[in-house]
Structure 1
């Protein structure tokens, strides 16, 4: 009996060993498949940018060749200085930089304040107001363009940078939602300790909440920067004077009624993407950390 029991125990011990040895293989296959799909997705996403860069080094005779010519020969390096000289890109870059800076700074302040109020301050109708505020994300921009244009016209902000700065800085429901989820995960004991020390709402917000939500603020800042820098439809609607144009709107002027300077347009587009690439490469860790922690905290 003892021998049989020992054999049974040995078999029972061998069963999980066989199962466990098969799990790493399945996981390895799943990881390989996942990496293949992610690589294909990355190539798909990078392809338009790569095509833009290659086209910026071609003359007009090479851009529309069929089949396409991937490597430019000869390289049309003159597209870059020509594009900068053809249009007032210096002024457009200044406009884009200062508009983007103001929108990002104002969004971080207003969105973080609203997130703190919705997450930690109890007031009547807070949940209803938040739901109504969040529902604005489901309204297509095309629905609000005409009413917003009429409002800007009535207050005299047409052909003025304020028409681009103020709506973008004060009405960012996505930023409020993302920051609120993060603030909700902050322990209430920290607020209670600050209240015991005599701190009010403003001091708690500044000294307790803001330092703890810096990863989320960094992520929101990057998203807002890219959105404001690449914005085209709003400047197109509200701006008429070339001296007020932003970079995306100025690039559109290369497109004429019958012809388009595609080489110059591609060169200007490549130049305009450089600031966004630099910001994204520098703050890539903060973007991932902010979004990940926000999902966990919520």
Structure 2
């Protein structure tokens, strides 16, 4: 009995130290993740002076809203940048949810010639790095179609993504086929079946697609930077570069703008965080 108690005590001690190290590691990871956000927010309350004159600190000293005022007063298009981001991210999100769901339904439940070939090409497209497509896409938009510096150039290249189609196909493929067969026997057409049956049953994957797509397109910088040439067409992420010049940078106003641009993401996350968790496994559903 004494030997058993000694063994049990040693095991509990090992388990305690192991859990302590795990908690310590996770705490460090959380700090490393949240520190840039924390520093961005406290820096945004600094005075709107050039970077060389700024006093960098981990604590808020003499907080002021001057940098936020500087951000919105600096350019008459400061508010327009935010509106542009909402327009671009919103339209791309809406189109992705609709088209990707429709395509996912077609690939998973409809049998047509070339189904497997087209889906294989879709998977192949997912393997191509985003950066590789930017040069030919830029040439097409600017030199061939001449639609640069327009909402069309900002929105059309992202109307639907291969990843969202794959995600929708995997999820819809797991839905019972019997439900759709019953709806067809009742005289339900394919468009009506998609709208009245598939979409209501696919709310989870549609929400995941909407969240991920909106976040990606709200935060994107490279493509809007390439195809916009005037301030009135820039998105918020591109507009922030206007606070950095060759010789100096307005650090605090830039951080104020970054905080404003991150606010919709904070709201989106805390409002729909349950869908973020579901999004971790929704693509793993066997089709």
TM-score (norm 2): 0.87
Mapped pair 1:159 → 2:149 = yes
Are the counterparts in 2 of residues 152 and 163 from structure 1 also a CA contact under 8 Å?
A: yes
Aligned to 2:45: 57
Relative to structure 1, the CA distance from residue 175 to residue 29 in structure 2 (aligned partners, 3 Å threshold; closer, same or farther) is farther
Aligned to 1:279: 268
Tell me the distance in 1 between the aligned counterparts of 2:24 and 2:187. 56
Aligned to 1:3: none
Tell me the distance in 2 between the aligned counterparts of 1:222 and 1:290. 9
Mapped pair 1:204 → 2:193 = yes
Mapped pair 1:69 → 2:57 = yes
Deviation of residue 177 (structure 1)?
1.2
Runs of 4+ in 1 over 3 A off after TM superposition: 19-39, 59-65
Tell me the distance in 2 between the aligned counterparts of 1:52 and 1:253. 17
Structure 1 or 2, whichever has the larger Rg, is 1
Are the counterparts in 2 of residues 217 and 290 from structure 1 also a CA contact under 8 Å?
A: no
Mapped pair 1:79 → 2:80 = no
Aligned to 2:245: 256
Aligned to 2:180: 191
Aligned to 1:4: none
Give CA deviations for 1:140-160 in whole Å, capped at 9, x if unaligned.
Answer: 222211110111121121111
Relative to structure 1, the CA distance from residue 216 to residue 27 in structure 2 (aligned partners, 3 Å threshold; closer, same or farther) is farther
Deviation of residue 107 (structure 1)?
0.7
Relative to structure 1, the CA distance from residue 111 to residue 84 in structure 2 (aligned partners, 3 Å threshold; closer, same or farther) is same
Equivalent residue for 2:254, pick from 248, 251, 265 = 265
Give CA deviations for 1:94-113 in whole Å, capped at 9, x if unaligned.
Answer: 11111111111111001111
Aligned to 1:6: none
Are the counterparts in 1 of residues 104 and 172 from structure 2 also a CA contact under 8 Å?
A: yes
Equivalent residue for 1:117, pick from 106, 109, 129 = 106
Are the counterparts in 1 of residues 224 and 234 from structure 2 also a CA contact under 8 Å?
A: yes
Question: Number of aligned pairs?
Answer: 280
Are the counterparts in 2 of residues 56 and 263 from structure 1 also a CA contact under 8 Å?
A: yes
Query: Mapping of 1:79-118 within 5 angstroms?
Result: 79-87=67-75, 88-118=77-107
Are the counterparts in 1 of residues 51 and 250 from structure 2 also a CA contact under 8 Å?
A: no
Are the counterparts in 1 of residues 50 and 250 from structure 2 also a CA contact under 8 Å?
A: no
Deviation of residue 25 (structure 1)?
8.9
Give CA deviations for 1:25-46 in whole Å, capped at 9, x if unaligned.
Answer: 9888776655544333222221
Tell me the distance in 2 between the aligned counterparts of 1:21 and 1:134. 53
Structure 1: state its 5+ residue gaps: 1-14
Tell me the distance in 2 between the aligned counterparts of 1:207 and 1:29. 55
Provide the alpha-carbon RMSD of the alignment: 2.8
Are the counterparts in 2 of residues 62 and 69 from structure 1 also a CA contact under 8 Å?
A: no
Tell me the distance in 1 between the aligned counterparts of 2:190 and 2:15. 49
Aligned to 2:162: 173
SS in 1 for 2:281: helix
Tell me the distance in 2 between the aligned counterparts of 1:20 and 1:295. 40
Aligned to 2:122: 133
Relative to structure 1, the CA distance from residue 75 to residue 225 in structure 2 (aligned partners, 3 Å threshold; closer, same or farther) is same
